[in-house]
A and B are shown apart, each in its own frame.
Chain A
């Protein structure tokens, strides 16, 4: 009986140790090949879907590589209970060259984009869901409570800020505090008018410049600082 207890304890310790070691790399999931499935038993799944053909062009290689690096950092910081998923065709060295785009499993991403009705031109997309993204039942549509972010028009800085915010939500609260869909409730007409007035006044305020050219003294004053 004592021997059984020792064996049982050792086994339990082994399983626990293995679990603690194995989870960190699982949080950042790089699914390679078409047959490899997305691992289960995570609280949330953050899928990076590249469906936008523009991002596969050679001139976008650097941008795509930047996105992949941000995915890596995101996957490492969201904890063991949350998975960040990236689809590859095969396992190979990742660099900022045209081979990166060739190795991204676009076809697999496209299946998600089609089933979840994501507009490719707004991509790459980041979809965060608490429901396991089962590829055999994609036709059921986007799971309820999922958050979809179109990263196509965002700068690397904006993407970085978004991922930081998502990391805060996933680590701190274990879920997304505010999905992008929740923030798109239509505004009242008077609020939109007020908003338009503010934008007009702001743009008017930026329209003037003051130049002073008095021999040795030159001054060029702008109302708004242009980036």
Chain B
């Protein structure tokens, strides 16, 4: 189902969206309760409409998989809709639909989450069904055989036929040597082909437990009532001893890494990824905030440096941008990406991207640029409160990666305080060649294509 790049969204969100206009802080009014079995329940009232968003988050994602079974976290997510002892396959979604709601799920490297959006009066139904599939899932060979085919179709659709997705997948597989982030969330095709019911069942038995789950509800609800419902439906599910989470630390990078990805495409592309820190101790660290502000300075708005200079002024790129995922369980990266205009090469664009970084290191950034990014943080904090779904996602994403929903308030304050000097400092310290992996998309003619789609040799960077 949705395998969202939530981390990226979160990062943008975290770093660019949240804000502190005045009194309203993201964690205001949020209530927390922990069941005896270790399940955390977090409720954020939003009474603008008689609606509730309910999410159950499991602190398990593709980074908890082992070699040979990559993709199992996401396959399990699909199988969670395929029935329990008392609710037949497909019935979960039918019951939610009957109540006027809609449901889906998403899997990331760090977590797996299931959600329903419905009238507040239907919330008990959603919690009853979620509690049921937390412990009573049935995975039949028949349903598995069909659904694994669906997941393979999803992989073809998301990745295999999309040149840029292939480049990103290969970049990650090259940038990391030991950490499981090197595997795609959806899994390698050959692992999907050999995945079994037993593999999937084992993953479920190991990780799906109340003490590894968080319930987040945002909407027109009373926290006390939600806590009572949670007690009733989830309270009796016994806790489990979870598998040990091995560190799987990525060894230090020992120099620049380069790769070329040859796929049928028209345009070249360059993707640069530096290993950088992520937020672990939000009240003590400053570097992740500085990296996030750097991302905002480089590409946080239409007048930011990369779109303005490389796309509009120099006209060397069709598109160019920066990305930093500050929140997550595994290693972090600072990304620069761009597509050169026809007639310019990936190498020329790489040089231009490097020049922009060097300018930050040499000259810092202006107060006007900082204020621009700060203004977006302030307004973003207001805008995000227009979406119950987004608010619930923020809470769940923070909690499952080991931070607290309350940290969101802190992010806003800390981001506002970041100085030009701090941005220069993180750029100088981390965005260095020894920590860099560079991927070029080297466009190839399409096999069996009409002649016009196959550019002559030597013209492969465009035209």
State yes or no: do A and B come from one complex: no
